[in-house]
Structure 1
Amino acid sequence: DNEEVMISTYSSNNEGGLDPSSLFSFYKDGYRIELKEVTSENQAFIQLFPIDSSSEISEIIAQVDLNTDQLISLSQIGLNETQTILVVEFYEELTTKMPSKTSFDRAYYEGLGFYFIED
């Protein structure tokens, strides 16, 4: 079983896919939004449907904690019924930029036996 790290240049053309840089703002353009359900725990399930008829995404379901206004999870369902689930396990407030939290330590992963693919 090989372990690998893929390093690539960021592309803002990531159409339809979810990535950390767009996790909290992707829904603002290109989706029809419907409230699906509010649970007794005060969590909302919100369905997002792509407006683009050629999208490979069938729907996205966002789970939001209404007490804290924080995203809990996103489930992206493709037309081929593939489901991708992203879960936010915790929120951490950063008051200053901490290199150890924002830098990629290549030597650490090399020491674990990972190999690198770079474009």
Structure 2
Amino acid sequence: MKTIKTLSFILLFLIASNFVNAQNDNEAKALVKDVLDKVQSYDNFVIDFSYTLENTEQNLRQETRGDVSIKGEKYVLNLMGTTQIFDGEKIYTIVPEDDEVTISSYDETDTEQITPSKMLTFYKEGYRFKMDVLQDVKGRKIQYVELIPMDSNNEMKKILLGIDKQTKHIFNLIQVQPSDTRIEFRVTKFKTNEPLSANHFEFQKSKYADYYINELD
């Protein structure tokens, strides 16, 4: 799912480490490192978020909400009526609208398969970081860091990462594409060290007895 892959942009900054290189603005580098260091201290975290896609020229605006829970390499993502589970070995994509579950083995060479550590590859190279504007959002000081792709053929013109200066948590992430399509992920809740059940990241086949199970391998 393209939308699920798009979500990896915000997850990257919450999970990945050691991706900020010497080409970046030192202040931006230090701020992002503070965010990463703090998040990596958590056993797990659960994010509720809003997703907005907008293009004013095309009079297009789409809004939806989702949530994702992450522990190490495992995750459960709910977005646009679809659930995706990664248990560390297999990826389960559950589509209630079609009464279908697609199961595939994780293949680290497949660029369409996203895991927390693999998200690192999106930004490990090819982007410059610099400090952008500081905004007051309902009393919260949100510092933006701008990511500028070095490749002119990149599918994004720029990315803005909003960081709450007090909590050192992600506030939002905005992607601006060459077509001036704007995609925003905004964190509405950020919960840490939640009492997740032992089988939270497991696919329970018995719940989907009436579904068509599509095993790709």
Fold match (TM-score > 0.5): yes
Distance (whole Å) between structure 2 residues aligned to residue 23 and residue 84 of structure 1: 22
Higher strand share: 2
Deviating beyond 6 angstroms after TM superposition, the runs of 4 or more aligned structure 1 residues are: none
> Which sections of structure 2, spanning at least 5 residues, go unmatched?
1-95
Distance (whole Å) between structure 2 residues aligned to residue 63 and residue 20 of structure 1: 23
Counterpart in the other structure of 1:93:
193
Identical counterparts, % of pairs: 25
Counterpart in the other structure of 2:116:
21
Q: SS in structure 1 opposite 2:173? A: strand
Q: Which amino acid aligns with 1:57?
A: M
Q: SS in structure 2 opposite 1:100? A: coil
TM-score (norm 1): 0.64
Counterpart in the other structure of 1:58:
157
Counterpart in the other structure of 1:39:
135
Higher helix share: 2
TM-score (norm 2): 0.40
> Which sections of structure 1, spanning at least 5 residues, go unmatched?
none
Is the aligned partner of 1:30 residue 2:126?
Answer: yes
- The CA deviation at 1:11 is 4.1
Q: CA RMSD in A?
A: 3.5
**Measured at CA, do residues 61 and 117 of structure 1 come closer, stay the same or move farther in structure 2, by a change above 3 Å?**
farther
CA deviation string 1:44-63 (max 9, x = no partner) = 12221111222111111111
Q: SS in structure 1 opposite 2:200? A: helix
- The CA deviation at 1:116 is 5.1
Distance (whole Å) between structure 1 residues aligned to residue 168 and residue 102 of structure 2: 33
